[in-house]
Structures are given as C-alpha cells and as structure tokens.
Structure 1
C-alpha cells in the first residue's frame, strides 16, 4: 500500500494529526497547496485532513473536485474541530461536504482538535470576533456548554489533540 497524507491547517491541529498519521503509516505527507491531482494518482490510499469552519472542511475541494479520478482508490478524510464529537454534527458535516456517491466511497473521521485564537489570520480573527459578540450578547444562563467553552478559549487556547484519536483511522487504512 502506497499512502499519502495531505492536509490544510490554519491553526496547526490538522497538521499535527496529519504528521502522526503519516508517521504511523510510513506515508508521504504534503500540505495541500504543495500537491496536485497528478501526484495523488501515484498513491493507492489518500488521506486528507483539514479543519472544520462552520461545517465546511478546509481545502476539501482538492479531493471532491477530483473524485471521479480518485474514486478507485482508498480515500479517507478527517476533519478537526474544537467541539466534542456528536453523531448528529458529524452527519451534518458528511452531508454538507460530500455527495451521496462520495459518502459511499470516502471514509470520514472527526478528530477533536482545539482552538487557538492567537494562531488565526486577520480575516479569521474578525469572523471569530463576530461569533464572540453573538455569544456574549446572549443571556449567560442560556449559553450551552460548547459556547461557554468557546468563550473561555479566546483567552486561553485549548488543545484536545491526542495521538490515540487516530487509532480507528489507522486501523481502517491498514485493513484490506
């Protein structure tokens, strides 16, 4: 099996997982902007990872726009986010990012990442400040736990990445 791990990471969490996965599988690894479809065609297994923004997976078009060329390969996609994994949220991510055909062929994993406001670029900081304003405008007693955690993370970065989180993905890739 010749595998490649491709990632797009704004704040480092997807990159950290990509590095761990590549190490475990002895796979090649590339940042998404450094690889093209011709390079991907050289691999039997393609693993793509990116951060979740709203419910979109950062840079996923690298895979989805070339799906017809890649669909005979083993394709795995992982996304990182700060919130705990919930089946209903994961289902929304899948249906929002993949066609029905892609959902049948692409195995998706959610790997809990984190949030570090200090690592964001200016445009992302502006968007996150709008979200913060929206959350702060709510009655404090009506904030859900995810919102409370998110507000706290603006002042103190949170990192939920754990190497053990990739175990299921690794087992899937290694299975025939």
Structure 2
C-alpha cells in the first residue's frame, strides 16, 4: 500500500513523529509546504501531522479542503501538543478542526509532543508570553490553576520533549490493518 506522510512542524516534535511513522511504513514524507493536491493521487493512504495551536491543527486545512479528492483513500490526521492525552482534549480538537461529515473520513490521533520556547517564531513567542502572563495573573489572584496551566509554567523556560516512538503504534496498526 503506497503511503505518504505530510507534516507541518514549527518546533520539530511533529516532524519527529512524521519521520518515525514514515520509517515504520516505508512511506514517502514531505513537509506540508512542498505538497500539492495532484501529488496525493499516487497514494492509497495519506497521513497528515501538525502541531496544536489554540486547539487548531497547524496546516490541516489542506486536508480538510481536499477531502473530496481523498474520500477513496485512507486518511489519517495526527496532532501533537504539550498536554497529556485526555479524551476531552481529543474531542475538542476533532470538533474544532473537522465537521462531523469530515470526521467520518478522517481517523484522528493525538500524540504528546513537547515545548521549546526558543524554537518559536516572534509571533508565537508573543502569544506564549501573553499566556504565561495570564496564568501568572491567575496565581496572583489566588485562582486555581488547571493541570495544563501548572505544567506550562513548569516548562516555559525549560524545553520539554514528551515524544516517544512507541506512541505511533496505534497509527501504524490502523494503517496496516
């Protein structure tokens, strides 16, 4: 089965998973900026990976907008984020990025990535500083922090990599079934 792995990665965590998946499946791999819709016709399985930014999957619109051309293919989307895997996170991401009709054709997976402030671009650094400020403001007002907020404060100035190769096993099993 001819498979392609496409990814959009700002800090390298999504790229790492994409490379592992490509390796395991002997699949072609491309950065999302290199891919055209016409290229996808040569593949039976299309796997797309992108990092999460405010619950949006980086670059996934390419898949969503071309889903009509992919309906006869196995379509997998994975997102990477810093939060631990929780069902409510998975549901929120799926519902924010895909219509209920699109969800019928896309198999979605969440993989825990990481965080490295130094690798962010200027705009993303500004957004993260705003987030950090809002969390610290919550602390000052003695408001209860969520586990994600506590975790973000802990890793903000210290890179964290939660990627694990064994986390791709479910994707590999689905694609090869």
TM norm. shorter chain > 0.5: yes
Whether 1:61 and 2:61 are equivalent positions in the alignment is yes
Quote the offset at 1:141 in angstroms.
Answer: 6.2
Q: Residues 4-63 of structure 1: CA distance to partner in whole angstroms, max 9, x if unpaired?
A: 000000010000000000000000000000010000111000000000001100000110
Q: Which runs of 5+ in 1 are unaligned?
A: none
Aligned to 1:132: 132
Who is 2:152 aligned against? 150
Q: 1:145 Cα shift?
A: 2.1
Q: Aligned to 2:95, what secondary structure does the other structure show?
A: helix
**What TM-score results when the alignment is normalised by the length of structure 1?**
0.97
Paired residue secondary structure (1:156): coil
Aligned to 2:164: 162
SS state of the match for residue 48, structure 2? strand
Residues 76-135 of structure 1, C-alpha deviations (whole Å, 9 max, x = no match): 000000001111111011111111121111000000001100000000000000000000
Aligned to 1:48: 48
Greater CA deviation, 15-24 or 99-108?
Answer: 99-108
| Counterpart-to-counterpart distance in 2, 1:65 and 1:98 | 10
Provide structure 2 residue ranges, at least 5 long, that are not aligned to the other structure: none
Q: 1:98, 1:111 → 2: CA distance?
A: 18
TM-score by length of 2: 0.97
Please give the root-mean-square deviation of Cα atoms over the aligned residues, in Å.
0.9
Q: Secondary structure at the match of 2:59?
A: coil
Length, aligned pairs only = 175
Give, in angstroms, the shift of residue 144 of structure 1.
Answer: 2.1
Structure 1 residue ranges, 4+ long, deviating more than 3 angstroms after superposition: none
Rounded Cα–Cα distance in structure 2 between residues aligned with 1:154 and 1:92: 24
Moved more, 99-108 or 9-18: 99-108
